[in-house]
Amino acid sequence: MRTASLRDLAADGHLIYSDGYRTKKAELAPDGYRIIRVADVGNDVVRLDSPDFVGGDRAPQIGVKASEPGDILLTTKGTVGRLAVMPEAPGRSVYSPQLCFFRIPEGSDLVTGYLKAWLRSPDFWRQAAHSMNNTDMAAYISLRDLGLMTLPVLSLPVQRGIAEVLGALDDKIAANDVLRRTAAQLATARYLVSLLPEMQSVAVADACTVLSRGASPRYTEDAAAMLVLNQKCIRGGKVDLAPARRTEPDRVRADTVLQVDDVLVNSTGMGTLGRVAAWDRAGVATVDSHITIARPDPRVVDPAVFGVALMEMQSEIEGLAEGSTGQTELSRQQLGALVVPLPARSWQGDLGSLVRSLSKRSLAAAEESRQLAALRDALLPELMSGRLRVKDAEKTVEEVV
């Protein structure tokens, strides 16, 4: 087994990698190359609905930084480490500078699935941590530091075997993600249809028993301490616990300990303000001072229906922001005054039951994905080191997919 740096692999023609295109304001256009930004890249998901474009006449300047299907995308600034593969898609796209792409040319000594696996491996993260710790700025991996990172270059058959085994787990995780998105879309569709026969409206403040932000946490590394959610935890209408931290419980007010059906609204910051998700799981947790808790009053509204309604109003909530760039705030008063359309109370019971059922399925899929990801991450270093044979890993994976 040999090892090689990304820079050397690129020099030898086995890899193309780069950051994205630095768009000048004058190059923005109504169509052309759609700009893919960090916010558009989730783990194994690339959203292609950005409204921003670089003019098509900039093709010579964009060069290899135009997207191609199969490119591996890595977020390298801010939320570092999200990883996805560029899908087949209509139209043209270009990556922003906070993304790095990896492209495997024909005849390469690398397999795309193997490289993707390495980019989420402990080996990669050990090297990345050194790079990120060398800056006083926000988390960031430079293109230069990426080029110096080394990976084991196994034989092509072994690389393909590893890619296939781990890819089976990735495919199951992706299927669970589709299930979760479909469940959310179905809940939203049923909510919108239920407004047609008879609609009522209620202000958020009148529908809630609690409308309050959390407190500034006193963080601790104690794994038994209370979970505290931050803005990064609220994304795509879901709560992701991966970015959550722990806080000392004596700093937490009783009314900010989360309850099932609490609706969480990001209330500060450009790009994150207005994101909405419902807390739909057991477990003791709270939120930090950047998130507002809207706790629906079951005497006024079915709590599950209220959550769907508020999530459907995310774009309106984003528009409520006040303040200048860098100081954007969503006040409690503005959120409280927001008027939410709701179906007649007689419709809310059945709709709420459906929403809770869909939420339960979604949570089960999320938990299965968490376990599959843990298995994938445990198998990866064993396969790369040769301590585990591909055939043995295949048997393990067959039992769970």
For residues 132-158, give the mean pLDDT: 84
Instruction: Specify the CATH number of the domain 154-196+344-401.
Output: 1.10.287
What does the mean pLDDT of the chain come to? Answer: 92
Burial tier of 24 (Cβ tally within 10 Å: 0-12, 13-18, 19+):
exposed
| Residue in 335, 228, 212, 215 with CA at minimum distance from that of residue 273 | 335
What are residue 152's DSSP bridge partners? Answer: 3
Q: How confident is the model at residue 187 (pLDDT cuts 50, 70, 90)?
A: very high
Measured CA distances, 111 to 30, 116, 150 (Å): 37, 9, 15
The Cα–Cα gap between 324 and 188 comes to 32
Top CATH class of 199-343 equals: alpha beta
Residue 353, both tokens:
């039951």
Q: How confident is the model at residue 263 (pLDDT cuts 50, 70, 90)?
A: very high
Query: Which DSSP category does 324 fall into?
Result: S
For residues 210-222, give the mean pLDDT: 94
| pLDDT single digits (tens) 281-322 | 888 999 999 999 999 999 999 999 999 999 999 999 988 876
Any idea where the domains of the chain sit in the sequence?
A: 2-151, 154-196+344-401, 199-343
3-state secondary structure of 168: helix
Give the count of alpha carbons within 13 A of 31, CB side only. 2
What are residue 205's DSSP bridge partners? Answer: none
Length of the chain: 401
More confident residue, 269 or 291: 291
Lateral strand order in the sheet of 291-296:
208-213, 291-296, 263-266, 276-278
What pLDDT is recorded for position 43? 82
- 154-196+344-401 matches 199-343 in fold: no
Give the count of alpha carbons within 13 A of 317, CB side only. 28
What pLDDT is recorded for position 132? 75
**Distance from first CA to last CA of the chain, Å, rounded?**
30
Q: How confident is the model at residue 203 (pLDDT cuts 50, 70, 90)?
A: very high
Q: How confident is the model at residue 134 (pLDDT cuts 50, 70, 90)?
A: low
The percentage of the chain sitting over the pLDDT mark of 90, rounded to a whole number, equals 80
More confident residue, 289 or 140: 289
Residue 329 has pLDDT above 80, yes or no: yes
| pLDDT single digits (tens) 39-64 | 899 888 899 988 999 999 999 999 99
B/e letters for 338-349, b = 16+ CB within 10 Å, e = fewer, are bebebbeeebbe
Beta strand pairing call for 234-235 and 199-203: unpaired
Residue 119, both tokens:
């980019």
What pLDDT is recorded for position 323? 56
What pLDDT is recorded for position 242? 86
Instruction: Classify domain 2-151 at the CATH topology level.
Output: Adenine-n6-DNA-methyltransferase TaqI; Chain A, domain 2 (3.90.220)
What pLDDT is recorded for position 137? 56
